Amino acid sequence: MTKKRPRLLKGTTNLAMLVAMTVRNEMEDFHCKHLSDAQMKEPNPIIRNAIATALYTARNYSEDEASFEWTNFQLKLIPEYWEEPELTEDFRKLVKSLRRHREALQKSSGTAGEP
């Protein structure tokens, strides 16, 4: 019996692209200081494919042996000294800005204090 080749769902592909773009944008200052556009051409697809693989294997962790084994191996490789991930500074700034904007709108419309 032949098993189907693993395929990425469109949702996983879209999510991988979103994550890769977020990574790329967060690396922009580093890129400008240290790497040319030509040099970035090589790691960009590597990053996108690694993200897609991680998302695929996480989603299929309990469904197939390869995803289970891959994910467990990757998890074992995470060094103890890595900091916990956190939301990016740019996103936190956006949240703060939107809150201030919403509060200003509420004050100007006289709805401050309403839920």
Provide the residue ranges of all domains of the chain, joining segments of one domain with +.
10-81
In DSSP notation, 12-52 reads: HHHHHHHHHHHHHHHTHHHHHHH--HHHHHTHHHHHHHHHH
| 86 three-class SS | coil
CB atoms within 10 A of CB 60: 18
Phi, psi at 42, each rounded to 5° = -75, -50
**Residue predicted with more confidence, 5 or 76:** 76
The contacts found for 40-46 with CB under 8 angstroms, 24 or more apart, are 44/20
Q: What is the pTM of this model?
A: 0.79
- pLDDT tens, 21-32? 999 999 999 999
